[in-house]
Amino acid sequence: GCVIRGETAHFDYVCKTVTDGVTYLNTHMDTPVVFCVLTDDHVQQSLDRSGGKLGNKGVEAGVVAVRMAELNKNK
């Protein structure tokens, strides 16, 4: 996902809530959950991080999720 900072505090609320939710899931459940929410200041940052000059953070998170699932399966 992606949250782009705007003129209100919604950015902070959404980012904090998502972070808290992922933390909760990882500390209370057996299935690992990967945090991959782009928290950008403007659209160009989002484009750069979702397949642009900084790579694709979504693909990177997907690879991590598969690796974590494999580790969890081998427990």
Are the C-beta atoms of residues 35 and 19 closer than 8 Å to each other?
yes
3, 7, 8, 10: which is the annotated catalytic residue?
Answer: 10
Backbone angles phi, psi at 9, to 5 degrees: -80, 0
10 is catalytic: yes
Are the C-beta atoms of residues 30 and 75 closer than 8 Å to each other?
no
Would you please indicate which residues are annotated as catalytic (active-site) residues?
Answer: 10
